[in-house]
Structure 1
Amino acid sequence: MTRRIAWTLVVLTSVLLVLAVVPLAVSLTARERVAHRDSQRAATRVIAAAAEEHLSDGRPATSMRKELDAAARRGDCAAVYDSSRLASTPCKAAQGEESEELVADVLRGREPEPPESEGRLLAAEPAGDVREPAGAVVLARSSAPLDARIAAIWGWSAVIGAAALAASVLLSVRLARWVSRPLSTLDASARRLGEGVLDERADVGAGPPEVRRLAATFNTMAARTEALVHGHRAVIADVSHQLRTPLAALRLRLDVLAAGADTATAVDLAAAQEEISRLSRLVDGLLAVARAEQATPRPAAVRIDAVVAERVTAWAPVAEERGIRLVADSGGASPTVAMGAGHLEQILDNLIANAVDAVPSGGSITIDRRAAEATARVRVRDDGPGMPGRAKTVAFRRFGNPEAGGTGLGLAIVHRLVTVNGGTARLEDTAGGGLTVVLELPLWPERGPERADGPRSLPDPKKR
């Protein structure tokens, strides 16, 4: 942004300078040429007036010689002609074919057109009546002083333009930084807030008033978000404590009652214990969904192959106990994705748990991964009963599938953890029957501040 603002202002200033300085220099150059020509013609007329007194009135040539000497002292070359050259300065620049052509035009009573000669300028004036002159005067003047003044005009114009452009560059860079630096700082603060640094605040003391107001509004939003998240976390902690404690106490009392009860009562107590266990799992699932919805992950580099291998190893005993084949496809690349710490493990745990519950004995669960241009694709395939099309459309909602055998919250947790990390999740039918969960996860850039490719401490799947 700084470069765009600076370049825009510099280009605009350059255009304005060209439109202002160049026409001014051209105008001054034209004025210098006119002034130089007028001065030369005036000097020529002075000599012509003195020559007329000699040629027309018959007076001595003293005055004419005096003016020729004065022209010679100024550095001009002059010559007086009647039918032939009458007198001249020692310099020969006013003599030659060009001068003779000018004299012929003047003696015929015509306005001469002085030619452009390299290094000198010629002027011719009649001595006497313009229509029937008694003679003509030709004056040659060097163009070096004129060229020097014109060069000075263009040189000073270039210096002024360069100085103005340099000042414009400095002002443009300062203005661009004044505007863009607070925006860059605000962008960095917003990125850190999105990564989970809830106490992040933007600087409100720099930049234009609009940017300062934006930073103040951002700080207000960040403070409210922090209070809201902390409040929700506190509610979750309280609910977790308030619900789990009485459930655990109730389970212990039922265990005590079942120990001394008769057969019929023991059966009823066992059913009650099963419902309490189901309620405990439901509470744990709701708390897991709430935590996932409040997740603000700080992305880390996670190697998919390492996590998949670790979770397959952890769930293998459960799958073998139920007669299910759980494998990881080792073919293809091993991409590294950008995800929050422990999120991929939680996602795979929920997907494997759902698949283990759905697949009958003798079935299989396969996990594979592939790398695309900007994402990594992870698929969890099973050959179980699958899911109807209507159920797939609402499966990622809380209790979306009323026919689910578990709590109905596993896919909701998966969807939330995937989307909060910038990925997508969808359900497809497995070829030959079954369900496939397809995850599109963002790849980790080549360079990053941290890595999290090793396994993490997670709950034992046997205790789920």
Structure 2
Amino acid sequence: MTRRIAWTLLALTSVLLVLAVVPLAVSMTARERVAYRDNQRAATRVIAAASEERLSDHKPATAMRQELDTAARAGDCAAVYDASAHLVASTPCTAAQGEEAAELVGRVLSGHEPEPPENEGRLLAAEPAGEVRRPAGAVVLARSAAPLDTRIATIWGWSAAIGAAGLAASVLLSFRLARWVGRPLSTLDASARRLGEGELDERADVGGGPPEVGRLAATFNTMAARTEALVHGHRAVIADVSHQLRTPLAALRLRLDVLAAGADDSTAAEVAAAQEEIARLSRLVDGLLAVARAEQATPRPTAVRVAEVMAERVAAWSPVAEERGVQLSTVSAGPALIVALGAGHLEQILDNLIANAVEAVPAGGSITLDHRAAGNAARVLVRDDGPGMTAEAKAVAFRRFGNPEARGSGLGLAIVHRLVTANGGTAHLEDTPGGGLTVVLDLPLWPERGHERGVSSRSSPVERTADQDR
């Protein structure tokens, strides 16, 4: 925007300068030419008046010679002709003689107004000696056009200097004006970007710039303050709910454990069923809290090495998978990919997917983690050969409690979907060839300039839920 404002003002100023300076310079040039011509004709008339005394009254040629000498000292060339167009007297310079001078003399002697030409850098002027209709002779004066050209060049030089100075001032003022308007907007844009990245305490500078921008910054700060209050209030509610729900559930579980220790065979089954429901309710509460935290995520992207994180999570989940008789492995055939995700998000995504697959795949089955490049994204696949999901279940799998066939709370895939989309990626489900389910994640790649530094494979501790979505 700064450049657009500057170039617009610069173009407008340039047009105004051209429309003002060029016509003025043209007008001054024309006036200078007229003045120069008038001065030359006046000098010619002076010589013509002195020549008339010689040609008409046959007086001595003293006055005529004096005027010719004066013209010669001034650098002019003059020639006096009689009524028969014969040369009577002239200055040592012969520029006032020749064919063009003869044509001028002929027109003057015939009573016509001559059109003075320019001959080899000299201007010719002709005036009658005596009456215009019956002249006794004619005077031709040739004057160098160099002084006139110098004056014209000076006029155009000053005009160009004035135009250049005006243009330079316009450039300076336009860029200062553009920066005065654009800098607060750039600062406001940066503040909005940081607020969107999760810095809820970010505020814009309301000083400087136009008043409208200042009011916009103040409005932005009000919005940011309310957003921060709402988010912090939401987080406080989540923390309170977490504490208030987990504490009575834990107490109820302890009471049931005590009751189960002294229960007889008739009530042991009922107590065990109650314990299972309490455990399921605890997992449900944990899952809801995990979804709420995922929905609040405003990640700041960091560079994450996909292969290293996959290998780490496979190593962490291998004991659980072996206990259930499931083979867990990773495939890294393609190039090492680096994605831009929030801190710990890839770990949390893989934990939920692996936990969900381990619960769903029967003993003897397998789970494979793979990744590959897919255009401008990194594609991560979690493939299993379990029972899979129906088309109806896959259509609602990423919703909270969307899958009615889920044996758990059905929150794991909802957490995965929220974390993936919050980082600018996509997630969808496919059938595994031969049976099973494949979760396909397309994650944004980290820019090339970030490969040299700031690359990490592990981040802050993550939160996961082991609720079954299938």
Alpha carbons 2:429, 2:438 under 8 Å: kept:
yes
Q: Distance in 2 between matches of 1:390 and 1:275?
A: 27
1:431 deviates by 2.7
Q: Distance in 2 between matches of 1:455 and 1:420?
A: 17
1:301 deviates by 0.9
Report the secondary structure of 1:205's partner residue. Answer: coil
1:76 deviates by 1.8
Match of 1:432 among 431, 434, 437: 434
Alpha carbons 1:329, 1:366 under 8 Å: kept:
yes
Q: Distance in 1 between matches of 2:259 and 2:203?
A: 57
1:382 deviates by 2.0
Alpha carbons 1:102, 1:112 under 8 Å: kept:
yes
**Within 5 Å, which residues of 2 pair with 1:293-304?**
293-304=295-306
The amino acid across from 1:265 in the alignment is T
| Structure 1 residue 4 corresponds to structure 2 residue 4 | yes
Q: Which runs of 5+ in 1 are unaligned?
A: none
Alpha carbons 1:319, 1:325 under 8 Å: kept:
yes
Alpha carbons 1:427, 1:436 under 8 Å: kept:
yes
1:463 deviates by 12
Q: Distance in 2 between matches of 1:94 and 1:101?
A: 11
Report the secondary structure of 1:135's partner residue. Answer: strand
Q: Distance in 2 between matches of 1:237 and 1:319?
A: 32
The amino acid across from 1:278 in the alignment is R
Match of 2:449 among 444, 447, 450: 447
What is the CA deviation profile of residues 274-301 of structure 1, one whole-angstrom value per residue up to 9, with x for unaligned ones? 0000000000000001111111222111
* Identity, % of aligned positions: 80
State the match for 1:22 in structure 2.
22
State the match for 1:71 in structure 2.
71
Q: Distance in 2 between matches of 1:210 and 1:377?
A: 46
Alpha carbons 2:291, 2:415 under 8 Å: kept:
yes
Report the secondary structure of 1:52's partner residue. Answer: helix
1:456 deviates by 5.0
- Larger displacement relative to structure 2 (2-11 or 329-338): 2-11
Alignment root-mean-square deviation, CA: 2.1
Alpha carbons 1:343, 1:417 under 8 Å: kept:
yes
Alpha carbons 1:396, 1:412 under 8 Å: kept:
yes
The amino acid across from 1:37 in the alignment is R
1:315 deviates by 1.2
Q: Distance in 1 between matches of 2:320 and 2:465?
A: 8
Q: Distance in 2 between matches of 1:431 and 1:179?
A: 59
What is the TM-score with the length of structure 1 in the denominator? 0.94
1:326 deviates by 1.8
Q: Which runs of 5+ in 2 are unaligned?
A: none
**Within 5 Å, which residues of 2 pair with 1:4-403?**
4-82=4-82, 83=84, 84-403=86-405
Aligned residues: 464
Alpha carbons 1:285, 1:410 under 8 Å: kept:
yes
User: Cα distance 1:30–1:209, how it changes in 2: closer, same or farther (>3 A)?
Assistant: same
Q: Distance in 1 between matches of 2:446 and 2:178?
A: 32
Report the secondary structure of 1:387's partner residue. Answer: coil
Q: Distance in 2 between matches of 1:393 and 1:221?
A: 36
Q: Distance in 2 between matches of 1:27 and 1:386?
A: 90
The amino acid across from 1:377 in the alignment is R
State the match for 1:409 in structure 2.
411
Alpha carbons 2:345, 2:462 under 8 Å: kept:
no
What is the TM-score with the length of structure 2 in the denominator? 0.93
1:455 deviates by 5.8
Q: Distance in 2 between matches of 1:329 and 1:167?
A: 65
1:433 deviates by 2.7
The amino acid across from 2:162 in the alignment is I
1:31 deviates by 1.5
